[in-house]
Amino acid sequence: MIETKTIPSFRLYDGAAIPCIGMGTFGSDRVAPDEVAGAVAGGLRAGYRLFDCAACYGNEDKLGEVFAGALDEGAVKREELFIMSKVWNDMHRDVAASAEKSIRELQCGYLDMLFIHWPFPNYHAPFCDVNSRNPDSKPFSVSEFTDTYRQIEELVSRGLVRHIGISNMTVPKLDAVLGKLKIQPAACETELHPCFQQEELVAYLKARDILPIGYMPLGSPRRPERDILPEDVADMEQPALVRIAEKYSVHPAIICLRWALQRGVLPIPFSVHNYEANLASALMPELTQEEMRDIASLECGNRLVKGQVFLWPGAKDWHDLWDEDGTIAG
Ligand SMILES: NC(=O)c1ccc[n+]([C@@H]2O[C@H](COP(=O)([O-])OP(=O)(O)OC[C@H]3O[C@@H](n4cnc5c(N)ncnc54)[C@H](OP(=O)(O)O)[C@@H]3O)[C@@H](O)[C@H]2O)c1
CA of 106 to the centre of ligand 1 (A): 20
Residue range 186-199, pLDDT digits in tens: 999 999 999 999 99
Identity of the amino acid at 12? L
260 pocket-lining for ligand 1 (C-beta < 6 Å): no
Q: Which of 59, 63, 215 to mutate to test the pocket of ligand 1 (most atoms within 8 A of CB)?
A: 215
Residue range 21-70, pLDDT digits in tens: 999 999 988 999 999 999 999 999 999 999 999 999 999 999 999 999 99
Assess whether pLDDT exceeds 80 at residue 300.
Answer: yes
**Residue 112, helix vs strand vs coil:** strand
303 pocket-lining for ligand 1 (C-beta < 6 Å): no
Instruction: Work out the pLDDT band at 298, boundaries 50, 70, 90.
Output: very high
CA of 114 to the centre of ligand 1 (A): 20
CATH 3.40.50.2300: does it fit domain 4-322? no
Assess whether pLDDT exceeds 80 at residue 326.
Answer: yes
- Inter-residue contact 279 to 7 (CB < 8 Å): yes
CA–CA gap between residue 273 and residue 85 (Å, rounded):
23
Structure confidence at residue 123 (pLDDT): 84
Identity of the amino acid at 151? Q
Assess whether pLDDT exceeds 90 at residue 209.
Answer: yes
Q: What is the DSSP string of 233-256?
A: --GGG-HHHHHHHHHHTS-HHHHH
Structure confidence at residue 215 (pLDDT): 98
CA of 96 to the centre of ligand 1 (A): 28
Pairing mode, if any, of strands 17-19 and 9-11?
antiparallel
CA–CA gap between residue 190 and residue 250 (Å, rounded):
26
Residue range 239-250, pLDDT digits in tens: 999 999 999 999
Query: How many CB atoms within 10 Å of residue 16?
Result: 15
Structure confidence at residue 232 (pLDDT): 95
Query: What distances in angstroms separate CA 127 from CA 1, 21, 57, 135, one per listed residue?
Result: 35, 28, 11, 18
Q: What share of the chain is helix, strand, coil (3-state, %, to 5)?
A: 40, 15, 45
Structure confidence at residue 53 (pLDDT): 98
Identity of the amino acid at 69? G
Structure confidence at residue 277 (pLDDT): 98
**Residue ranges covered by each domain of the chain:** 4-322
The answer to whether the pTM exceeds 0.95 is: yes
- Inter-residue contact 189 to 215 (CB < 8 Å): yes
Q: Helices 33-46 and 60-72, interaxial angle, to 10°?
A: 30
Q: Which of 52, 85, 118, 220 to mutate to test the pocket of ligand 1 (most atoms within 8 A of CB)?
A: 220
Average pLDDT, the chain: 96
- Inter-residue contact 52 to 25 (CB < 8 Å): yes
DSSP state of 193: B
Ligand 1, atom 29, residue with closest C-alpha: 274
Residue range 128-173, pLDDT digits in tens: 888 888 888 999 999 999 999 999 999 999 999 999 999 999 999 9
Q: pLDDT > 90: what percent of the chain?
A: 91
Assess whether pLDDT exceeds 80 at residue 126.
Answer: no
269 pocket-lining for ligand 1 (C-beta < 6 Å): yes
- Inter-residue contact 89 to 95 (CB < 8 Å): no
- 4 vs 305, higher pLDDT: 305
Instruction: Work out the pLDDT band at 328, boundaries 50, 70, 90.
Output: very high
